[in-house]
Amino acid sequence: MTSHPLRSRNWFGRQDLDGFVHRSWLKSEGFSDHVFDGRPVIGIANSWSELNNCNAHLRTVAEAVKRGVLSAGGFPLEFPTISLGEVLMKPTTMLFRNLMAMDVEECIRAYPLDGVVLLSGCDKTTPAMLMGAASADVPALMVTGGPMLRGMWRDEPLGSGTDNWRLWAERRAGRVSDEEWCEIESCLSRSAGHCMVMGTASTMASMAEALGMTLPGNAAIPAPDSRRLVLAEMSGRRIVEMAREDLRPSRILTPEAFDNAIRLEMAIGGSTNAIIHLLALAGRAGVPLSLTRFDELSRSTPFLLNVAPSGKYLMEDFFYAGGVPAVLRELLPLLHSGAPTVNGRTVAENAGAAVNHNRDVIRSLDLPLAAEGGLVILRGNLCPEGAVLKQSAASAHLLSHRGRAVVFEDHHDMLRRFDDPDLAVDESSVLVLKQVGPRGAPGMPEWGAAPIPTKLLKRGVKDMVRISDARMSGTSYGTVILHVSPESAVGGPLALVREGDEIELDAAARRLNLVVDDIELTRRRAAWTPRPLQFERGYGRLFLEHVLQAHEGVDFDFLRGRTPVRIEDTAGPSHL
Ligand code: FES
């Protein structure tokens, strides 16, 4: 095999004082001379953390990657990255996605790496690593940690998030006892891995696979299944070849790859968060992508995957049914089948032999769950730059709806008042939540699925139209309109909504309008003033000064594009 010149030689191949220093100091870890003989140096970027349960098993995955790297003649070096744990990190991991992307990008650039294996799992860790790797543009391949085994309460399967939102509503309505609630707590998350519905983690793992950035089959293998370690070992072997071939993300992350990922997103009823992450990643890869493209592809991509929160099965069932390759095989007539992937084969070559083992889990193109994709992009005077609705997880009777606004001025206001017995709300009301977008919250938390007031839950109301500039968990469901752009904190029309205003949703026509005349809106706009910014220093201030709006992916303005590392940039003395 012809081998591309390796950038690590600029550290370890030199016979001057710097080469001596680079080798000598690394030998303190116990490495022999052999590791400096010109073999590719492979970084294993590990987002392992005990603070992030979804990624807590990644040290084991890293060991399997190392086996693969060593057996293919590479030199593996594992290094830590920031880890963003969705459950414990406050106020929201989204505030730190770009920070993690910067960490990954700069470590790849600064260290003597010829290739990188990205180990991710929990929601934001996957897009952050892909964004960083895309900007650094060193050969890179991703291995995700895999979903947990399905939750089981007695003989009832439970899905992460989806079932705890449902059971929490049942408990508030008085239908789940203290003892049952305590029992459920121990039954839901019973193995290593990330959430096991088609939430954001599973969706982003699927996106990475459809983009061509993982080996085929990666996304759905359960975390405790031995085949995940087999795939990790194979990924370790493959990255050594990729380093020699100089197969960089810029050759994988093409416009065709993004189309393929969006098609898959629509077919699997994936998380709304994937829209934001794909927009940000496209910005890094220099691929023009707008919300319009998501809607174009949604209209012509059938919804195929019967997995929660948009269906009845869980990720474990998806794996047994054939996983992402089986869905891609169904979608092949709609895909750019010649798009390259990290294993050197095209999408069609990878998916062509896939088998669909359960047609109730993965539907066929001619017998889909719905004719259109799971997500729609709305436009109108309430969201001039767009808003997102997951129609596959919404209530059919609310997809065309006109109701009066119940307005919460921010998240605290909502928490204080949503259960007030005197709140003027009924099932036809539209719950509006402001100040929860990228700059407003800040960090665009997953607060968009506002709770249904208890007095309505007790009357059997299970869903209402809810609108905000926030995101929602990929595990959530309901008629929840998200990512309203521009956001209220920068004076978007959402800021102008008042109690009792009529709001009209027509999902089929992709419309979302505030039924208030332009003269009145102009008057309200003139009276509107922004709130003071929440951070005066540190990373929070950087975030507020540079974050882009939802329709642009919530990346920082100065991080779009890539600065590929070059061998000639790595020369220079070490500083001791
Ligand atoms: Fe990590 Fe759900 S909490 S994926």
Region of 275 please: left (phi>0), alpha (psi -120 to 50) or beta. Answer: alpha
Mutate to test the pocket of ligand 1, among 52, 54, 55 (most ligand atoms within 8 A of CB): 54
- Ranges of beta strands (E only) in 372-524 are 375-378, 387-390, 400-408, 430-433, 465-468, 480-482, 502-506, 511-514
Give dist(CA 437, CA 483) in Å, integer.
7
Which residue's alpha carbon is at the smallest distance from atom 3 of ligand 1? 86
Burial (CB count within 10 angstroms: exposed 0-12, middle 13-18, buried 19+), residue 333: exposed
Ligand 1 geometric centre to CA of 446 (Å): 12
Ligand 1 close to Cβ of residue 123 (< 6 A): yes
Q: Assess contact for 446 and 276: CB atoms under 8 A.
A: no
Q: Closest ligand 1 atom to the C-alpha of 201? A: 4
Ligand 1 close to Cβ of residue 122 (< 6 A): yes
User: What single DSSP character describes residue 34?
Assistant: G
Ligand 1 geometric centre to CA of 408 (Å): 27
Ligand 1 geometric centre to CA of 522 (Å): 42
Q: Assess contact for 191 and 177: CB atoms under 8 A.
A: no
Q: Closest ligand 1 atom to the C-alpha of 53? A: 1
Token pair 């080798």: residue? 23
Give dist(CA 25, CA 223) in Å, integer.
36
Ligand 1 geometric centre to CA of 357 (Å): 27
Region of 386 please: left (phi>0), alpha (psi -120 to 50) or beta. Answer: left
Nearest to 497 by CA among 532, 533, 468: 468
Give dist(CA 258, CA 262) in Å, integer.
6
pLDDT at 392: 85
Ligand 1 geometric centre to CA of 219 (Å): 14
Ligand 1 geometric centre to CA of 104 (Å): 20
pTM: 0.96
Q: Closest ligand 1 atom to the C-alpha of 202? A: 4
pLDDT at 416: 96
pLDDT at 169: 86
Q: Assess contact for 348 and 332: CB atoms under 8 A.
A: yes
Q: Which residues pair with 404 in a beta bridge?
A: 502
Q: Closest ligand 1 atom to the C-alpha of 194? A: 4
> CA–CA distance from 260 to each of 94, 141, 152, 166, 401 (Å)?
25, 18, 34, 32, 32
Ligand 1 close to Cβ of residue 84 (< 6 A): no
Ligand 1 close to Cβ of residue 86 (< 6 A): yes
Sequence-separated (6 or more) residues with CB below 8 Å from residue 175: none
Ligand 1 close to Cβ of residue 316 (< 6 A): no
Ligand 1 close to Cβ of residue 194 (< 6 A): yes
Q: Closest ligand 1 atom to the C-alpha of 87? A: 3
pLDDT at 477: 85
The percent helix, strand, coil of the chain (3-state, each to 5) is 40, 15, 45
Burial (CB count within 10 angstroms: exposed 0-12, middle 13-18, buried 19+), residue 250: middle
Residues in the chain where the model's pLDDT stays below 50: none
CA 147 centroid distance within chain: 14
pLDDT at 3: 72
Q: Assess contact for 428 and 505: CB atoms under 8 A.
A: no
Ligand 1 geometric centre to CA of 204 (Å): 11
Ligand 1 geometric centre to CA of 73 (Å): 35
Strand order in the sheet with 502-506: 375-378, 387-390, 480-482, 465-468, 430-433, 400-408, 502-506, 511-514
Assign 182 to helix, strand or coil.
helix
Token pair 């869980």: residue? 314
Instruction: Work out the angle at residue 186's Cα, subtended by the Cα atoms of residues 119 and 197, and round it to the nearest 5 degrees.
Output: 45
Q: Closest ligand 1 atom to the C-alpha of 85? A: 1
Ligand 1 close to Cβ of residue 446 (< 6 A): no
Ligand 1 geometric centre to CA of 133 (Å): 22
CB atoms within 10 A of CB 332: 14
Ligand 1 close to Cβ of residue 297 (< 6 A): no
Ligand 1 geometric centre to CA of 86 (Å): 5
Ligand 1 geometric centre to CA of 334 (Å): 31
Sequence-separated (6 or more) residues with CB below 8 Å from residue 444: 92, 94, 276, 436, 437, 438, 469, 470, 471, 550, 554
Ligand 1 geometric centre to CA of 209 (Å): 18
Ligand 1 close to Cβ of residue 195 (< 6 A): yes
Sequence-separated (6 or more) residues with CB below 8 Å from residue 318: 198, 220, 305, 307, 361, 362
| pLDDT tens by residue, 444-479 | 999 999 999 999 998 999 999 999 999 998 888 899
pLDDT at 534: 87
Which residue's alpha carbon is at the smallest distance from atom 2 of ligand 1? 195
Q: Closest ligand 1 atom to the C-alpha of 200? A: 4
pLDDT at 2: 53
| pLDDT tens by residue, 252-267 | 999 999 999 999 999 9
Q: Assess contact for 405 and 500: CB atoms under 8 A.
A: yes
Ligand 1 geometric centre to CA of 320 (Å): 21
Ligand 1 geometric centre to CA of 509 (Å): 33
Ligand 1 geometric centre to CA of 473 (Å): 9
Mutate to test the pocket of ligand 1, among 55, 123, 198 (most ligand atoms within 8 A of CB): 123
Mutate to test the pocket of ligand 1, among 165, 194, 471 (most ligand atoms within 8 A of CB): 194
Which residue's alpha carbon is at the smallest distance from atom 1 of ligand 1? 122
Mutate to test the pocket of ligand 1, among 48, 49, 86 (most ligand atoms within 8 A of CB): 86
Q: Assess contact for 82 and 113: CB atoms under 8 A.
A: no
pLDDT at 253: 98
Output the 3-class SS for 472-486.
CCCCCCCCEEECCCC
Ligand 1 geometric centre to CA of 196 (Å): 9
